[in-house]
Structure 1
Amino acid sequence: MERVETRTGGMAAIIDVPGPGSNVARLRKAKGWGQDRLAAASGVSKSQLGKVERGERALTQGVAAAVARALGLPLDEVLGRAPVPPRSEESLKALHAAVRRFDLPGGPAAVPVPTLRAGLAEMVALRGDADLAAVLAKLPGLVVGVQSHAHAVGTPEAWAMVTQAYSAVYWLAARHRWMVLADLAVTKQKIAARQADPLSLAIAARDEAGVHLNHGDYGDGLGVVERAIAQVEETATGRSREYALGMLHLRGLTLAGRARERGAADDHIARAWALAERFDAEANRYGIHFGPENTAVHVIATSGDLNRHQEAVSIMGELVRRGGITLPATRISPLHMNLARSHVTLGNRDLALEHLEKAWKLAPQLAKVHPTSQEVLRVLTSRHKRSNPRLTRLAKLADVRF
């Protein structure tokens, strides 16, 4: 927690400014290191570290991963894990119990297949709305139901449903940075996918690479992506092949961008754009989108990771000129977070606040736990020189005390 003194109406006030970047100084000092030592060990300049620690610059997840490696800490300790809301503790316990039963046949009475399919469709919709609380509440029963069905009938279609349910488990865990659960989810997802179909395998690989992304192991994640791409090119055909390759390249460009591997990022970007041009509308499988819009959303985020902030702003402008975005809140809210990060880096705090407000309006639960949202709010709050009702409102929503 960083404490920043400001003046409002002539009176001094202390603002508690939480956010991943505020953890850097605390963790560094706990290890007994100065900024010089951390800069040398992480490959991040002392100037940049100082700005991050003072709340003058948002901590990116790529820099956070470098800091975590240097300090010998897991990435989620630097970024911070989202707490479990008290009213959701029982649901999380039930979800862990459902995951533990993955290999055990039997269980509750069989759930009709149409009911299971309806539950999976509802889960896709809840993910789209970024309703994290509802996803957590409904996932345990859904996981138990599809697992029992798959053990009973053993068909590829049944195991594909298990794969889809575990993709939702991974999504939920990754959003909160509950990495033990995320690791378990992709392990089970991959086992189920091997008994399902090539597309399920590709989505499982995409989520497995996502776990490496969330741990900051970008090189390993890229290895998973490249292996999966080769497998899809050998086994898949038609529209499913184009979709699978596209969403894998989106994961690849994100990983490469976080790793600051510009050549690899640009290669994945070019391939993703080429595939996206074959889609007139966004394809949606398991709640995972691919098409022109989601490609643009990912490229905007990666442009920010590569310090191409003006390029990110320009791509957004082109999206608007083409008629806007039809993607669900789970994709549009992070888009606005990343645009807010680019604008705050470019020095336009008003536009940064505007985009951050849009992110919160679209998906408040997601914005509250997302590290980019937390960091942009931390920087805006640290830099503000006078009372700003809009910023005050966001700070209250985020539990930042004025």
Structure 2
Amino acid sequence: MPDMLAEQQAIGTRIKARRLALGHTQADLARALGMTQGWVSKVEKGTISLDSTSLINRIAAALACHPNELIRRPYVHSVPENQWQASADLIMRELRRYDLTPSFEGTPRPSEVLWQETVRLARLRDAAQNRAIITELPDLLAEVRALAEVSAGHEREEGFALYALLCKFAHTSAHALGHPELVALACDRAAWSASLSADPFMPAVALGMRVWDLWGSAAWDDSLTLADKALAQLQDAYDAGDALAMRVWGAGQLRAAVSAARAGREQETEDRISHAREAAARIDALPEQPFDRYQLNFSAGNTDIHAVSVQLELNKHTEAIRLDGRADPAHIATLPKSRRGHHHMDMAQAWLRDHNRDKAFRELRMAETLAPQLVRNHPVARATLGDLIRGERGRVHEPLRAMENRFKASN
């Protein structure tokens, strides 16, 4: 049996085992999900793929477990590719001893120099080099914590702001690689350091991390409440035209749009996307763009691809295809490879639901070309590939088989 199909069966087996361990029937799980007992049966047999993150999260929430327990992440790689987990342990150690004497030896560099390190990390993130980020972070976290410890005044506050942003990089990379304990701890420490930073918008950035975390437990209403809390902290500065506030506010609206779509709130989803477009237009109209110390990548292009993504969350793949056709290619081209990779994964799903397998495969191949590490380890991309293989009549064609082999080699 092809590996991608076997993987779907293994996920179904784990769902069944978890359900039985809780003493639930298939009908119980079906009621919790708003699905049929027959649908649950097919999922457990692996004949229906879990082709969206929100669906995986909903099932995990209904079974009172973390989504990674069902999809078995982090995936097991070759020895060199697994080295990031040792670095993740070092990050956890640094974050746990946050209020103790810093472990950094020597004199920390000034904050002005260390902010440039965050630019380098952002380039790695944009290229979906999450293992490289995890490897870099232990020493940087120790250094910026030492900066906050030995400095006073503004330099001390900048040390805490840097610490919060490094927690954000840890949070994003740990999400991508599948390390929920690091995700949670990074989120907590970001909030702690943001409160000590005197940066007016960093607390809202930290709240945005929590919004993302709440998606893992399918707590869509709570994530919207938290998003609005963050947006309220920014509103006055946004209205006054502060460039950084507009960037954080716009990014917050996009996360709120995802939360609303997953909650099935179609009109609110549209409103949030509209707010984000407004913010992007205001930023584009600025005579000069400030240094984005939060490394958020908010833009018109990011808004365009979120507008497509939320339509898929609302199960409106035809609208997703239409919006993709209307999006400005110049906007999309400005996005980093990681974001474009996500977008092409979405479009692969949209075309697959539209029963156009050729276009689905081309989109998935484009996603893999742009961000191979991200895509080959993404559960939705793997489910999409499994569905493409499942739909083959007879022998799997060579380009599809070659893609499966590359995905297999990464696992």
TM over 0.5: yes
Aligned to 1:361: 369
Counterpart pick for 1:225 among 224, 227, 231: 227
> What residue number does 1:11 align with?
none
Kindly indicate whether structure 1 or structure 2 has the higher relative contact order, using CA contacts under 8 Å at least 6 residues apart: 1
Q: Distance in 2 between matches of 1:21 and 1:55?
A: 7
Higher deviation after alignment, 34-43 or 382-391: 34-43
Name the amino acid aligned to 2:131: A
- 1:280, CA displacement in angstroms? 2.5
1:204 aligned residue: 206
| Structure 2 counterpart of 1:44 | 35
1:394 aligns with 403
How far has the Cα of 1:319 moved from its partner?
A: 2.3
Q: Which of 329-338 and 380-389 deviates more? A: 380-389
- Residue 51 of structure 2 aligns to a residue whose secondary structure is coil
Distance 1:323 1:121, change over 3 A: closer
Q: 1:171: Cα distance to partner?
A: 0.4
User: Do the aligned partners of residues 248 and 324 (structure 1) sit closer, same or farther apart at CA in structure 2, a change above 3 Å counting?
Assistant: closer
- How much does 1:51 deviate? 5.7
Tell me how far apart the structure 2 counterparts of residues 343 and 88 of structure 1 sit (CA, whole Å): 34
1:314 corresponds in structure 2 to: 322
- Please say if residues 28 and 71 of structure 1, whose CA atoms lie closer than 8 Å, have aligned partners that are also in contact: no
| Residue type of the alignment partner of 2:262 | R
Structure 1 stretch displaced more, 216-225 or 23-32: 23-32
Q: Map of 1:235-274 to 2, 5 A cutoff? A: 237=240, 238-274=242-278
Which position in structure 1 is the counterpart of 2:193?
A: 192
Q: CA RMSD in A?
A: 2.5
The Cα shift of 1:36 comes to 3.5
Does structure 1 residue 28 correspond to structure 2 residue 24?
A: no
CA contact (8 A) 1:28 1:38 kept: no
Report whether the alignment pairs 1:78 with 2:70: yes
Identity %: 24
Q: How does 1:300-339 map to 2 (within 5 A)?
A: 300-320=308-328, 324-339=332-347
User: Separation in 2 of the partners of 1:25 and 1:260?
Assistant: 28
SS in 2 for 1:76: helix
Change (3 A) 1:163 1:26: closer
- Residues 348 and 359, structure 2, Cα contact 8 Å, conserved in 1: yes
Structure 1 alignment gaps of length 5 or more: 5-13
SS of corresponding position for 1:198? coil
Q: What are the superposed Cα offsets for residues 115-148 of structure 1, whole Å, 9 maximum, x if unpaired?
A: 4233222111111111122111111111111111
User: Is 2:142 the counterpart of 1:148?
Assistant: no
1:340-361 CA deviation, whole Å, 9 max, x = no partner? Answer: 1111111111111111111111
Q: Is 257-266 or 162-171 further displaced after alignment?
A: 257-266
Tell me which residue corresponds to 1:180.
181
User: What's the secondary structure of 2:333's corresponding residue?
Assistant: coil
Alignment pair present for 1:166 and 2:167: yes
Contact 2:29 2:62 in 1 (8 A): yes
> Is 2:65 the partner of 1:64?
no
- Separation in 1, partners of 2:217, 2:293: 25
Report the secondary structure of 1:17's partner residue: helix
Once the two structures are TM-superposed, the CA of residue 392 in structure 1 deviates from its matched residue by 1.0
How far off its partner does 1:262 sit? 2.1
Q: Secondary structure at the match of 2:297?
A: strand
- 285 and 335 in structure 1: CA distance in 2 versus 1, 3 angstrom threshold: farther
Query: Normalising to structure 2: TM-score of the pair?
Result: 0.87
Contact 1:35-1:46 at 8 Å conserved across structures = yes
Query: SS of 1:288's equivalent?
Result: coil
Residue 376 (str. 1) matches residue 384 (str. 2): yes
1:89 pairs with one of 82, 85, 88: 85
Distance apart, 1:393 and its partner CA? 1.4
Checking the alignment, whether the CA contact within 8 Å between 1:21 and 1:58 is kept in structure 2 is no
Gaps of 5+ in 2: none
| More deviation, 296-305/263-272 | 263-272
TM-score, scaled to structure 1: 0.88
